[in-house]
Amino acid sequence: MRHPASRHLLSLFVLACLASCPTLRTAAGTELRVTPIVKAVQGVKESIVNIHGHKTISTASAIGDAPRQVNGMGTGVVVDERGYIITNQHVVEGVRRIQVTLHDGTTYVAQLIAFDEKTDLALIKVEAEKPLPVVKTGTSSDLMPGETVIAVGNAYGYENSVTRGIISALHRTVQVSDTQKYYDLIQTDASINPGNSGGPLLNIDGEMIGINVAVRVGAQGIGFAIPVDTVMDIASQLMSIERLDRHWHGITGETKFVDGVAQMHVKSVDPNSPASLCGVQAGDVITSVDELDICWMLDIERALLDHETGEEVSLKLQRGEGDEKSLALVLQGQGGANALVDAAWDLLGIRVQMVPTNEFRSNNTRYRGGLKITAVKAYSPAARQQIRVGDVLVGMHEWETISVDNLEYILKSDIIAQKRPIKFYILRDNETYYGDIAVANYRVR
């Protein structure tokens, strides 16, 4: 029979053993340490990439503008497993060799696919050996000042840096330079530094709610992000099958959140489009395309990308109360987009649409009409001449460009066939600009 004191000593011995056992000691500690913030970062870390490159900038000197090389850095997020990445335009602008490093340390050289100057967003692509994890996306429509947010990025070149803070305010307008002004930004006190640009702002659930874009110079703890709803809308335009594959589906949609679940509602369907011909109607909720779950317009573009003309793609939707339908959408080439559309894109690097004559008259311009530029291909002749989306092409060589027929005539002319630079005239903010644009090795037949 043991003495009571010996039982007390035995208890102390057992506790000492438990305390000295690493596995048992850290089990409870690990559970406490894995906070919601840790879980949020772990859930998206493989979808975040670091971007490096070199660019040439001009600096004022005693002998004028002296170009110099600077190191560029930024961040991006994977939006499609085939290697499509969204980032800021200013991160990749002027960078000839865009280097992208994945979370596992693998580095690729990326191609600039498209960009939107107004929102400062760009789409780049890497040719990875395996599918890349796609970032988990939330919504910026229900953000609350005061809620916790997390920023992840390549801050000052320190890769995969994590900072946290709160949402300070919403719908901010920020002028960061003479040429760049942002609208409807999220303001946060999470530390956002040079190199964070293009990286995700996360909510506590690990969902991307914005793209970090700007720091208020001279201010402490004030950063800004582009709302994710805007990011997804622009990304769908940059990654559209019309832009990348020259295909057409004819769907215009918007994402609505019902009980916290994202749904892609069809706003309108173009007449005689592939979507219209297969039976898609305004008001439908598209749930999947080619077995990819659909939450955003970007998902539709992703699902239809890389398919062939005439290929049949399965589409599922809900119509009304629980009425589920399965349709077969057959991809077509761009509708009335004939050889002219292809030629203008391949030869000059622009897409255009006619501007109504009464719109010109309301602006008191001396021109009779023009063609508004709706897209500019990266590294194209138009991009090299700094032609922008929103510019209006009013003339080329000695001809007016009032209609697409005018442009078609010019592109078929002998001056284009001779591959000589041709003078162009554009209208921007009621000011006329001109220059000489080279042409690519292409001719309309």
- Residues marked active site are found at 90, 120, 197
Instruction: Return d(Cα 202, Cα 41) in angstroms, integer.
Output: 8
Q: Are 213 and 228 in contact (CB under 8 A)?
A: no
**Joined tokens for residue 105:** 């340390």
User: How many CB atoms neighbour CB 71 within 10 A?
Assistant: 9
Q: Which residue has tokens 């598209």?
A: 286
**In sequence order, what DSSP letters do the residues of 13-69 get, joined into one string?**
HHHHHHHH-HHHHHHHHHHHHS-HHHHHHHHHGGGEEEEEEEEEEEEEETTEEEEEE
Residue 232 phi/psi, 5-degree rounding, is -70, -35
Q: Are 245 and 238 in contact (CB under 8 A)?
A: no
CA angle 373, 377, 380 (to 5 degrees): 110
Instruction: Return d(Cα 190, Cα 152) in angstroms, integer.
Output: 10
Q: Distances in Å between the alpha carbon of 371 and those of 161, 247, 280, 389?
A: 46, 22, 31, 11
Instruction: Return d(Cα 210, Cα 221) in angstroms, integer.
Output: 17
**Joined tokens for residue 348:** 């000059």
Instruction: Return d(Cα 199, Cα 51) in angstroms, integer.
Output: 10
Q: Are 273 and 248 in contact (CB under 8 A)?
A: yes
Q: Are 385 and 376 in contact (CB under 8 A)?
A: no
Q: Are 99 and 51 in contact (CB under 8 A)?
A: yes
**Joined tokens for residue 271:** 């007449």
Q: Is 296 exposed, middle or buried (0-12, 13-18, 19+ CB in 10 A)?
A: buried
